[in-house]
Amino acid sequence: MTTTTAGGSDGFRTSVPGTHCSKDEISLLVIVVDVNPIWWGQQAQREPEFTLSKCLDAVMVMANSHLVMTRTNKLAIIASHCQESHFLYPSKHWKAGDVAGDDVSSGSGDGKYELLSVANDLIAEEIRNLMARTQVKGHQTDTLLAGSLAKALCYIHRISKELDAGQDMKSRILVVKAAEDCALQYMNFMNVIFAAQKQNVLIDACVLDSDSGLLQQACDITGGLYLRIPQKTAIVQYLLWVFLPDADQRSQLVLPPPVHVDYRAACFCHRNLIEIGYVCSVCLSIFCNFSPICTTCETAFKIPLPQMMKPKKKKLKAAN
């Protein structure tokens, strides 16, 4: 971002440190929003002033701000549900040229950027359709966050393959977390984290309720920011202050201090978070209880048993 100031006949150009970027560099932001209907239904009863619609309004404010900062910025929003992971933006009804922000009609009489107006309407329509077809059955009430993150990484990979020659792209994922962690997704979650680290994709976390140990690990491993906001109704301020700037701009800001990371692992047998356990030396599976056979790779361990002391035979006295 540059600012040009003319004084008399001479002109000079100044650049703000840490905000200069190449004209061909693309910044892709993928926002994963937790729309768990059970959690948001309970939240509406606890705090009627902060509902899912208010949260999505704050997310769209940040999304619009990201799009208008630079012409080459790209955006994607994924709704993480307890039954599926659904793209809110871009959707199947959206044209590829509109996603890139090119050739957007600017005939609106009110001067509003057409891309933002259409994107907001599309996001609202997609979330209404998603919640309308929701039917919570059985005990599957956990948010499919690991699958949503995997879908976000696939989308980032696809966009990176569509770049023109000489173009660079910086990608990051922002997770707006509502419901509690699901220990059953531990393995899938860790695979996604290490895949993001390998692709140099930052993972940020904006947590609305209880702390998430899995997201703490994700942010620490990938170099992102983790923040549990103290006041839910002020979410838009935290999104614009903490999570809107990219990694290069954050060094110029005074951000909340890093939190203590909970690096406890989940056992493979019961999916419980443990501090001390048994690790298979072949596949590195973790168990809370000892087992002579690994249930993951079926390796049988040779256990040295304590040697039994042979009883001494009493010498029979010779009969006189």
- Please choose, from the candidates 144, 139, 183, the residue with its C-alpha nearest in 3D space to the C-alpha of residue 288: 183
More confident residue, 7 or 262: 262
More confident residue, 116 or 218: 218
Q: What is the pTM of this model?
A: 0.77
Q: Who contacts 109 (Cβ-Cβ below 8 Å, separation ≥6)?
A: none
Contact by Cβ (8 Å): 114, 168: no
Q: Is the pLDDT of residue 109 over 80?
A: no
C-alpha span between 273 and 277 (Å, rounded): 10
> What is residue 30's three-state secondary structure?
strand
**3-state DSSP helix/strand/coil % of the chain, to nearest 5:** 35, 20, 45
CA 196 from chain centre, in angstroms, equals: 10
Q: Is the pLDDT of residue 86 over 80?
A: yes
Task: Say what the pLDDT of residue 269 is.
Answer: 83
Each residue's pLDDT tens digit, 59-81: 999 999 999 988 889 999 999 99
User: What are the φ/ψ torsions at residue 205 (nearest 5 degrees)?
Assistant: -135, 125
Average pLDDT, the chain: 82
C-alpha span between 258 and 45 (Å, rounded): 32
Q: What average pLDDT does this structure show over 140-169?
A: 91
Structure tokens at 286: 């973790």
Ordered alpha helix ranges (H), 170-212: 186-198
DSSP state of 300: B
Task: Say what the pLDDT of residue 78 is.
Answer: 95
